[in-house]
């Protein structure tokens, strides 16, 4: 099975919707979560990235996310992000649904991006639902441990979906609609372990997977490439 076979599949099965996970951003120097060198190998997500932790100790959660936001903003889109933007421009990808919060798809030029786990673009007030842009949040964090809502004074929450939180309803609905309308969902860089997003490929007529290592849905995929995202998608572009 090769990138050429994947290119044929994409050409023959339109519309194609792409679902991406952490594996698409590792080549940008962003560690993934669950591998041996991943973020959760060193820190307990329930201590720093859960809604319970945020309610109990927002300073701890923000000290984790402040570093993370800086790291993600310094990262640059890689070949995989670029190839997906190019595929959209050529009319071969209808949308990218991503579990990533790093905004690298948008920065690479993808226009139809559904961020089902939120993003670092802003922080959110749980009291009045105000959304504060990341620049203003980081400016506040220069002088205090947690950012406040400029409207009601509550502590702002990172604009990413924390453990224990529901996914944003509008984004999840849009992602489900896109998957159901797709003749092909192409999964890139996700081991499909986090629900409900991991169930999206099952909504499509067929799905293919590009991921290093096994995923929960390998058996049901029409094609599985155990390979890196950047090299594979670049080869797919060349083959189209
Ligand atoms: Zn507020």
Per residue of the chain (240 residues), what is the pLDDT tens digit? 599 999 999 999 999 999 999 999 999 999 888 777 888 888 898 999 999 999 999 999 999 999 999 999 999 999 999 999 999 999 999 999 999 999 999 999 999 999 999 999 999 999 999 999 999 999 999 999 999 999 999 999 999 999 999 999 999 999 999 999 999 999 999 999 988 999 999 999 999 999 999 999 999 999 999 999 999 999 999 999
Tell how far the Cα of 98 is from the centroid of ligand 1, in angstroms.
Answer: 27
Tell how far the Cα of 143 is from the centroid of ligand 1, in angstroms.
Answer: 19
Write down the pTM of the prediction. Answer: 0.95
CA-based radius of gyration for the chain: 18
**Closest Cα partner for 75 from 104, 40, 99?**
104
Tell how far the Cα of 10 is from the centroid of ligand 1, in angstroms.
Answer: 45
First vs last Cα of the chain: how many Å apart?
16
Tell how far the Cα of 122 is from the centroid of ligand 1, in angstroms.
Answer: 13
Catalytic residue among 13, 81, 105, 117: 117
Give alpha helix (H) positions in the chain. Answer: 3-12, 45-48, 51-56, 58-74, 79-89, 104-108, 134-141, 169-181, 229-239
Tell me which residues have their CB within 5 A of the ion that is ligand 1. 125, 127-128, 130, 149, 151-152, 154
Q: Output the CA–CA distances (angstroms, integers) from residue 147 to 46, 56, 130, 216, in the order listed.
A: 21, 16, 13, 38
Tell how far the Cα of 158 is from the centroid of ligand 1, in angstroms.
Answer: 13
Tell me, what DSSP letter sits at residue 129? Answer: -
CB atoms within 10 A of CB 165: 16
- The question of whether 70 is a catalytic residue gets the answer no
CA dist., res. 127 & res. 106, Å (int): 29
């Amino acid at each position: 099975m090769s990138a050429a076979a994947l290119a044929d599949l994409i050409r023959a099965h339109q519309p194609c919707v792409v679902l991406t996970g952490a594996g698409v951003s590792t080549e940008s120097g962003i560690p993934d979560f669950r591998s041996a060198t991943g973020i959760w190998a060193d820190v307990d997500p329930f201590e720093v990235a859960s809604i319970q932790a945020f309610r109990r100790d927002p300073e701890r959660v923000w000290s984790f996310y402040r570093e993370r936001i800086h790291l993600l903003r310094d990262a640059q889109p890689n070949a995989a992000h670029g190839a997906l933007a190019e595929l959209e421009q050529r009319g071969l990808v209808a949308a990218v649904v991503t579990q990533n919060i790093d905004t690298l798809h948008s920065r690479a030029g993808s226009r139809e991006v559904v961020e089902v786990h939120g993003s670092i673009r802003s922080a959110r007030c749980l009291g009045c639902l105000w959304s504060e842009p990341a620049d203003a949040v980081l400016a506040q964090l220069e002088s205090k441990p947690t950012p406040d809502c400029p409207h009601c004074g509550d502590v702002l929450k990172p604009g990413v979906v924390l453990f224990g939180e529901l996914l944003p309803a509008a984004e999840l609905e849009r992602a489900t609609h896109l998957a159901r309308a797709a003749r092909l969902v192409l999964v890139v860089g996700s081991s499909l372990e986090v629900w409900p997003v991991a169930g999206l490929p099952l909504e499509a007529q067929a799905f293919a997977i590009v991921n290093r290592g096994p995923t929960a849905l390998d058996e049901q995929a029409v094609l599985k490439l155990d390979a890196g995202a950047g090299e594979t998608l670049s080869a797919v572009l060349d083959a189209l």
